[in-house]
Structure 1
């Protein structure tokens, strides 16, 4: 089998540029074996705190947050998220009524937070909602008003936009307080967040007639680009790019699948190009790793299984992720006039 060239290209320094603080809330209607409410806090896409309605307790997920905040911090987080849990339970029922639904599994989600560029000082905030995988509400901070792309959200926007005091509070939080917390967290986790770990890259194929997947895993920070080349030229056709997914150790993984016929693969020279920060590594494989032999290392097997498990969980929860400039954009619903949440 012809050799495949894997290129790992360098990028800019890991710690320079744009940083983000994001909170993602997910509420699920009853009927499945999944917490009714979960909350995840992330700095630069790495999880640092977690809460769910089963444990009813906010907990640290990194050593740097565990070592730098005390019990009062976690008590405050827990109390705020218990309140958000109740809000989300109410909002699921309201949203189901709005959409004329009486049964089935439904989800509400919210993502809010801020970004800060440590080179230019530019900062911005974001607050986005949705329902069952579709956009529901977005806070326009320039206009200082909520907007909705669906008729079912108009009542909510009217209620929330009439609350001028609350809008001013949000403006203050997203323009100042959120960024202050982000800078504090970056300082807390400086030694960990500054680290750079290069990805392990492999080409995987179930059998000779199956699509070929370029799998990059174990890298940090999260910024990575996977692309394909055909005979030295950029190739964009028949490519399916997967979502960025977290590993248990705090690193990330991502996949890109190329769907070409065995004959086209044999007659051309395809290469997978993975761009990550810090280093340039060139690796050549004599054959694609398949399920037919013992050539797939255990680390790759575990990584692929982890991806499959996580995708099942994400699918069940209805966790929709949009890879945009502001990071991933989840969805959620809301409309009893309450949009409270823990904001630290």
Structure 2
């Protein structure tokens, strides 16, 4: 089934011997504001990907799968089409069929499907599963040994008889569950291993807000997120006066972290005894950064470096502005509050008095 063929790319396995991939798909009818179709991919019970017809967004949970889609945009387009076109069409037709066979009228109905495979890396054994649930109850499943459907409740017998006659469809399901699913799973494991073995070293900096603030050892741009960073004194790891930060994601898929050292009780001559150590999984050599005052970055501007000329210019400008405001106030007082009265007898009478 093409729908699930590409979804297999969402797999991520954690067991070194046995690997499993399962898809849980649910379709609903007659429920307002609920997606018609929701699909999740789980590997070893770990959520790997999700999509639904409401958001129209294929949410991939694993970084290495996102990287794969970035390098293979045609597969991303196919995945999106399967999620938002083919799956809704298939489940809509199937729900309609079930309602017709079961003589049900319009109303709320939910169809669920669990499909996937298990592969034992050590023995090579493969097991497949395909089972449907309807309105919250197990309904029908495929027996891969007999290539027939098993009715899990009496109401499913009619569907079993109808689906047993579709031998070509059963063979396609069996081929997917026992051949395509394990093959895609193995290929995905190979790609995952290649991707996750990549290591990117960080850029490490020493940061400090003020001379009395803790010194922060900040690492950014590293990959993967399996890393440790700590302060040492004379080669021994410190636990006191140390504030350990969390590993945080960057926008480009790499990570960052920091660890702070309180230096309030450290004398200047002892700074050389302190080191910041960064360790990255898969990399043998540690990145060691010595506590050196000359290497610390800060936003604080020392008084000796502050632009005195600019300060003098600002002060002079403010004084000139103050003089201008004072002169304007004196001028307005002399021309308004102390204006002499007009005593001339020859002045014409006010037009309003006529």
The TM-score range, normalised by the shorter chain, is: 0.3 to 0.5
Q: Which structure has the highest helix share of the two?
A: 2
- TM-score if structure 2 supplies the norm length? 0.46
For the pair shown, which has the larger CA radius of gyration, 1 or 2? 2
- Return the structure number with greater relative CO, CA threshold 8 A, min gap 6: 1
- TM-score if structure 1 supplies the norm length? 0.48
